[in-house]
Amino acid sequence: MILIACNSASSAAFQLAKEYVGSKAKVINVIDPVILYLGEHFASKTIGVIGTKRTIKSNVYQKKLDKLNKNIQLKSLATPLLAPMIEEGYFDNTISEQIIQSYLIDASIQQIEALVLGCTHYPLIKTQIGNYYN
């Protein structure tokens, strides 16, 4: 089994890896389980997704949601400073608070009913994001 445990890598290489490996191994990614969850719990809702530039530019979440045909509206925002900020240890402090808030006030992800943390780094700042949304 091969797990592509990164949203950016999943958006860029999942299909290629799956084709390359063929029947020799099962290839899974971190995006498909989120899509299935959204389809089950957020039909006809408005969802936000934040992620790296690569993940958001790929439009992978929108493409996969469209295939579900569950009338889920998606609002996406690239948040390129968050992953390097987390990697450098700047989370759960005033610096990270300011950066997170500067992204989350963006008009493109307002009036959402849920927010997908589209980067495997982002759970480290989940509490700060939750605090923003109360």
Terminal Cα-to-Cα distance of the chain (whole angstroms)? 39
Is 119 among the residues known to form the active site? yes
Predicted pLDDT at 124: 96
Nearest Cα neighbor of 50 from 95, 110, 131 is: 110
Given 4, 6, 30, 83, the catalytic residue: 6
Q: What is the mean pLDDT of the chain?
A: 95
pTM of the complete model: 0.92
6 is catalytic: yes
Give whole-number Cα distances, 78 to 52, 62, 71, 113, 126, in Å: 5, 14, 22, 18, 16
Q: CA 117 to CA 114: how far, in whole Å?
A: 10
Choosing from 34, 78, 119, 129, the catalytic residue is 119
Q: What is the pLDDT of residues 22-77, one digit of tens each?
A: 889 999 999 999 999 999 999 999 999 999 999 999 999 999 999 999 999 999 99
62 and 118 Cβ atoms separated by less than 8 Å = no
| 26, containing H or E segment | none
